[in-house]
Structure 1
Amino acid sequence: MTTPARLLPLFTRSHEGGRSSMTCQYRCGNACDQDVPNTSDNAYFGDLVAEGVSRRLALRAGGAGAALVGLTAWGMPSVAAAPSAASAAPGDGAKGRGRDHGLGFTGIAPTPATVDAVKVPEGFAWAPIISWGDPLFKDTPAFDFDNQTAAAQRAQAGYNCDYTQFMHGGPGNKGAHKGLLAFNNEYTNDELMFRGVTSSADLTGDQLEVVLAAHGITITEVERRNAGSPWRWVQGGKRNRRIHTDTPFAVDGPAAGSVHLRTSQDPTGERVLGTLNNCAGGETPWGTYLSGEENVNQYFNATGAPDPQGRLRRYGITSGGRGWERVRDRFSVVTEPNEVNRFGWIVEVDPQDPTSTPVKHTAMGRFKHEGATVTLTADGRVAAYMGDDERFDYIYKFLSKGTYKEGDKKRNMRLLSEGDLYVAKLSGDGAADGEYDGTGQWLPLVVGGVSKVPGFTVEEVLIWTRLAADKVGPTKMDRPEDVQPNPVNGRIYAAMTNNTSRTPAQIDEANPRATNKHGHVTEFTEAGGDHGALTFTWKIVLVAGDPSDPQTYFNGYDKSEVSPISCPDNVAFDATGNLWISTDGMPGTLNHCDGLYVMPLEGRDKGRLQQFLSVPVGAETCGPTILGPDSVIVAVQHPGEVTGASPDNVVSQFPYRGDGQPRPSVIHAYRRHGR
């Protein structure tokens, strides 16, 4: 699909990192306007003082002149002029040819933040797979923007799409041209969904019901005509499903049934209605779908609620919410003080069985989960890696008690119900070696069913994981988001999106920049290459920003041949182990649209970051799934999410279906047939 590159006015950005106020309001409940929740006194690691980090930055500045070579007038390396993989002669010694990154494309130039278009490399095309409001079942009404109902929304694709998981074939649906797609519906933009709405306070009761129904998870069968055509959703697919705010979830693990999870509607503490603010996720070896509940704090009205132990404040539950208590009193903390504890978990869904009950796993801890990604240890246990997406919060690892058994799905679906929980402490090496690197350890929180945190029971560690972690002294990170194992090299890669609240006195080798608006990506290597190890080494492989900035770093690659990048959010890998990065926040930091990038981790092009795709004005790039050398799935979230935009003042019309309103969509970028 091709679209005109329309230049549109970009309204004022006024929040941390340059985000629009609309993004801050609906994404995270204006988290950056609140005090940092982590006020613990656990130290920033002290073996490298701020002055030492500054000296290391100065070492890198010594190569700044080379970094400026080849920059165009608008500050971007001339990667578009580089030949494609097909034209690069093996062993010719030339840099930047893209031979090793697997797709063989020529990187695109950054897109100005005001452009309403999706851009892909030459030789590629894109098309929407499914958009907000597309009907999932045979009797589902077609999407009608001005007459949307909660009943229709519960049977249609949900709103802001995020993490995507693609599965070929499935029961009764075999073949290379049939599959199953699951994706998160993280949050809603109330001002873009209804006319005449300037905030959530303006919503009627019926509109609030639509908003509740638009959250959750969407699962749909997909198909394509042939290998050279795009995937598209199948209305009426047998495995199609919407999971929303009123879908029953089971609660398992050590905290299931806890007095702190019981409510008047659920006196057992073992059955929760709905899932909220589902951000990233992960696919298990047994084929299920993991989803992380992230900024759940914003949905609860905490006005007048007592907080003597600081539990609400530590989880950012301090505001008046989004008005949901007007239609569901469980979202009033005064009315139902334990309802807040029933969100912020990792949930597991069997996408192949639309009748199955999703599960919330308490053994994996409760915090602002970006997601959870899993792999196997040397002895067959499951290791799950998780980031807590908050300024100065932590990275976690879960190790299952049981071991994985190939082909035994019923057994394997219990693996995340019992195990050990750890939090990461990083130490720098303190050497002026031009690298940000060091060693680390996984500090125990719960091991063998026993709390390792003084003064906390197992239930308390798992329900108030942030407070428990504060007690053992982990490293405060710059908004750790997606944390994923690379299936090719076995290392772990974690996106630190940004943290403009970090002061010069708080920088350390793992978080080396004050007022960090661009973020970085850290590589972890578990001891002995075993994901069951409790020690590791680490290294920052990408310090994001404009390559002309001497503080930036691209795994040692010549910065004259890399793309600018900011605010890394999700990471993914292709079959050869290249690192793919989607971004969230570039309009406010580099004045570019957000995009999808690839950076080889080995070989001649190691560190040569190139941009593969850009999304429209106001949108974020989410949940990339790399299907193969010519095929990528991306969630395009909140198109047109710009302060001042409304249904009567449209900023983006993505996905350009001619209906006049932006619709968050999962898209397929693919090489055009015959290219």
Structure 2
Amino acid sequence: MRIQLPIIRTSNESHPGGRSALTCRFRCGDACFHEVPNTSGNDYVGDVIAGALSRRSVVRAAAVVTAAAAAGTAAGAAVAPKAQAATAVGKPAARAARGLRFTPVAPNTADQVTIPEGYAQNIVIRWGEPILRGAPAFDATKQSAAAQAGQFGYNCDFLSLLPLPGEPGRQVLVANHEYTDEILMFPGYDAENPTEEQVEIAWAAHGLSAVVVEGNRADGRLVPVTRHPLNRRVTATTAFRLTGPAAGSDLLKTSADPTGTRVLGTLNNCSGGTTPWGTTLHGEENFNQYFANGARATDKRYGLVAGPTERKWERFDKRFDVAQEPNEVHRFGYVVEFDPYDPTSTPRKHTALGRFKHEGATVRLTDDGRPVVYTGDDERFDYFYKFVSAKRMKKGTSRAVREHNLSLLDEGTLYVAKLTGDSPALEIDGTGKLPADGEFDGSGQWIPLATATADGAVSHVDGMTAEEVFVFTRLAGDKVGATKMDRPEDIEPNPHTGKVYVALTNNSRRGTTGNAPVDEANPRIGNKHGQVLELTERWNRAESRTFAWKLFLVAGDPNDPATYFAGFPKDQVSPISCPDNVAFDPHGNLWISTDGNQLGSHDGLFGVATRGSRRGELKQFLTVPAGAETCGPLVQSRRVVVAVQHPGEIDGATAEKPLSAWPDGPGKINRPAVVAVWRQDGSDIGM
């Protein structure tokens, strides 16, 4: 039976990306209203033929999969011939895929976290709850920077749950705190004249939180363990190490740090990843919006504002004023590594992974134990990348082993993706209509940008030094002709198959006058709903230099002919718009959270089968409250955990007059929070 899409109208439907203007204002500095930073003349996918392997040879190579590849890779990792794939999908099994056997939540605008029948939920932790010794209980009218530095931060995004040996039932929850919305945080906030205390509270509300949580044997709820020795806050004023090939460069030196190796704070952490050696990675995304007077900057590729910033931090710390500290902005836009097991450790910013608007960073090991990190640059017409380490991970927990593993992301090669479509350009007409071969697909190359070694670094980009490549990575991608994509966000390798999935959220400028045309990987003009790319490395080896790709999902209303669900019958799927963060469950299903739903429903979390006869079957698991975004999904055997970011962030809302009643009831200040969901009967999720 078709899952009906109700006609729902919201006050935000005309805003770019489906977000409220308030969200755009504070989260990304109104990026949608600025000129597209990428003005390079790179070839689009349909033109990139010379030098690329033929799709046939790449697919044939990708089909050779060994049992040793990528954490238990199965035969399903091979790229099947199209005729066989169509036949399999045409006869789906009677039951949903394992892990997806739940009644899908219908699209809705309920001001709550809506979950499937037979499931229950609890709020794990809210903004402002104390996690460090001495921190007070949250009081919206008595906020202080000192209090916030010991409390859970604002606008949680990426989430990781790590095991806690020796403490049964407990795990370490690590959360990003992407940005602050001062209008919703502070009663009586004057945007033109923020107080110094308000600015310092915002500094403390950014960054990361680590908090031990405990499970309940009777159900799936999680509760924080306050004042645990591992609980920690990292803020915009915490000391960080700059590591890797650009550390110490003249491009990173400031008056406060003439060594170019130490920086205060991390900003706008969006998604991230968990490493096999037990640390977490965090992507600094829209860092540009925090720096004033960007017209003075020599680099015009990162979208710096010309005058004052929204939050006016530059009034209280000159490092946020490019006119006074031109290099400070070069010290943000990296992947941060955090050790949740050592509360005395100094977090690191890895320059070898490049500088851009990192949505996240996820890790897969090569067969010989070297980490490969995938990351996307969340900007219209920007690129996605991978880094292949030169060093192998060591097993063990000794200090020496841990220090070695913390250096794995400082030596290796950084690559950017270039895609080739296999259909004639005339068949990619901008409507989303499938080409004659029945799929949007092709081959691709990883183009090397620079290599870092223990003895130095080498640039592979003409006209740029290695230091310039690692600091001005977008420019390096422009020079080598990387493929312009529709906002590459989270990128995750499937631990069961080794295939890599790239969430492309949307791009309203695609194919419009003066911007890059449609191509086979980005096939719709004015792309409102986004797509998910599936990438198969050659020989299914993470270090490969070539890959096959196809669009796994082309999002939107299933009734729209311009949508595609891996060939699965569209009358049996949920509508989805604007894929953002992704994760995998224990069965290898892909779970997708959305950001800026353009179909009139609130944002949500969706599960979709990636293999077998139900491949492409997509089902909605939950929706979030009014004004909120679904972030940081974690799908364990018996628990789903999500971050509910910016609830109540609706145009016209203030701290005094909230327009959502979540999470604490009508008239209460809105508080971003982490939510856990489980089956009431105690069984596994989706079984």
Q: TM-score, normalised by structure 1?
A: 0.88
Shift of 1:646: 1.0
* 1:46 match: secondary structure: helix
How much is the aligned-residue C-alpha RMSD, in angstroms? 2.0
What is the rounded CA distance, in whole Å, between the counterparts of 2:93 and 2:139 in structure 1? 48
The 1:478–1:539 alpha-carbon spacing in structure 2 relative to 1, beyond 3 Å, is: same
What is the rounded CA distance, in whole Å, between the counterparts of 1:126 and 1:661 in structure 2? 21
2:664 corresponds to which residue?
656
Query: Is 1:596 equivalent to 2:587 in the alignment?
Result: no
1:566 corresponds to which residue?
577
How many percent of aligned residue pairs carry the same amino acid?
53
What is the rounded CA distance, in whole Å, between the counterparts of 1:441 and 1:46 in structure 2? 14
| Structure 2 residue corresponding to 1:122, chosen from 92, 117, 125 | 117
How do residues 240-255 of structure 1 correspond to structure 2 at under 5 angstroms? 240-255=231-246
For 1:232, give the aligned amino acid. V
* 1:116 match: secondary structure: coil
Query: Is 1:153 equivalent to 2:148 in the alignment?
Result: yes
For 1:38, give the aligned amino acid. N
CA offset digits 1:531-587 (Å, max 9, x no partner): 01000000001000000100000000110010000000011001111010000001x
Query: Is 1:280 equivalent to 2:271 in the alignment?
Result: yes
Shift of 1:447: 2.9
What is the rounded CA distance, in whole Å, between the counterparts of 2:474 and 2:218 in structure 1? 46
What is the rounded CA distance, in whole Å, between the counterparts of 2:559 and 2:497 in structure 1? 30
Bigger drift between 19-28 and 500-509 goes to: 500-509
How do residues 337-356 of structure 1 correspond to structure 2 at under 5 angstroms? 337-356=326-345
Contact 1:101 1:599 in 2 (8 A): no
What is the rounded CA distance, in whole Å, between the counterparts of 1:412 and 1:598 in structure 2? 33
Shift of 1:672: 1.3
| Structure 2 residue corresponding to 1:131, chosen from 84, 106, 126 | 126
Contact 1:378 1:532 in 2 (8 A): no
How do residues 21-420 of structure 1 correspond to structure 2 at under 5 angstroms? 21-47=21-47, 98-112=95-109, 115-170=110-165, 173-175=166-168, 177-197=169-189, 199=191, 201-226=192-217, 228-302=219-293, 305-307=295-297, 309=298, 311-321=299-309, 322-407=311-396, 408-420=401-413
For structure 2, the 5+ residue unaligned runs are 1-7, 50-87, 425-435
What is the rounded CA distance, in whole Å, between the counterparts of 1:14 and 1:217 in structure 2? 33
For 2:490, give the aligned amino acid. D
What is the rounded CA distance, in whole Å, between the counterparts of 2:23 and 2:123 in structure 1? 23
* 1:360 match: secondary structure: strand
What is the rounded CA distance, in whole Å, between the counterparts of 1:578 and 1:18 in structure 2? 26
* 1:645 match: secondary structure: coil
- Please list every run of at least 4 consecutive aligned residues from structure 1 whose deviation after the TM superposition is greater than 6 angstroms: none
What is the rounded CA distance, in whole Å, between the counterparts of 1:382 and 1:674 in structure 2? 36
1:424 corresponds to which residue?
417
* 1:403 match: secondary structure: coil
What is the rounded CA distance, in whole Å, between the counterparts of 1:119 and 1:270 in structure 2? 46
Shift of 1:48: 8.9
What is the rounded CA distance, in whole Å, between the counterparts of 1:109 and 1:616 in structure 2? 14
Contact 2:9 2:600 in 1 (8 A): no
1:626 corresponds to which residue?
635
* 1:145 match: secondary structure: coil
What is the rounded CA distance, in whole Å, between the counterparts of 2:99 and 2:274 in structure 1? 22
CA offset digits 1:500-530 (Å, max 9, x no partner): 0111660000100110010000000000010
The 1:288–1:48 alpha-carbon spacing in structure 2 relative to 1, beyond 3 Å, is: closer
Query: Is 1:666 equivalent to 2:674 in the alignment?
Result: yes
What is the rounded CA distance, in whole Å, between the counterparts of 2:237 and 2:440 in structure 1? 46
Shift of 1:418: 1.1
For 1:40, give the aligned amino acid. S
Shift of 1:147: 1.1
Contact 2:334 2:358 in 1 (8 A): yes
What is the rounded CA distance, in whole Å, between the counterparts of 1:335 and 1:607 in structure 2? 52
How do residues 469-484 of structure 1 correspond to structure 2 at under 5 angstroms? 469-484=477-492
CA offset digits 1:6-26 (Å, max 9, x no partner): xx9954555312321101101
Shift of 1:158: 0.2
What is the rounded CA distance, in whole Å, between the counterparts of 2:221 and 2:554 in structure 1? 34
Shift of 1:312: 3.5
The 1:94–1:465 alpha-carbon spacing in structure 2 relative to 1, beyond 3 Å, is: closer
Shift of 1:604: 2.4
Contact 2:296 2:322 in 1 (8 A): no
For 2:461, give the aligned amino acid. V
For 1:45, give the aligned amino acid. V
| Structure 1 residue corresponding to 2:553, chosen from 517, 535, 542 | 542
2:63 corresponds to which residue?
none
1:644 corresponds to which residue?
652
Query: Is 1:433 equivalent to 2:423 in the alignment?
Result: no
What is the rounded CA distance, in whole Å, between the counterparts of 2:159 and 2:682 in structure 1? 27
* 1:286 match: secondary structure: coil
Contact 1:48 1:430 in 2 (8 A): no
Q: TM-score, normalised by structure 2?
A: 0.87
* 2:561 match: secondary structure: coil
1:501 corresponds to which residue?
509
Shift of 1:136: 0.6
For 1:376, give the aligned amino acid. L
2:535 corresponds to which residue?
524
Count of matched residue positions in the alignment of Structure 1 and Structure 2: 614
For 1:565, give the aligned amino acid. I
2:493 corresponds to which residue?
485
Contact 1:496 1:519 in 2 (8 A): yes
For 2:484, give the aligned amino acid. K
2:56 corresponds to which residue?
none
For 2:246, give the aligned amino acid. A
Contact 1:162 1:635 in 2 (8 A): yes
What is the rounded CA distance, in whole Å, between the counterparts of 1:330 and 1:16 in structure 2? 31
Contact 2:641 2:674 in 1 (8 A): yes
For 1:439, give the aligned amino acid. S
Shift of 1:662: 1.1
* 1:354 match: secondary structure: coil
Contact 1:132 1:159 in 2 (8 A): yes
What is the rounded CA distance, in whole Å, between the counterparts of 2:131 and 2:681 in structure 1? 29
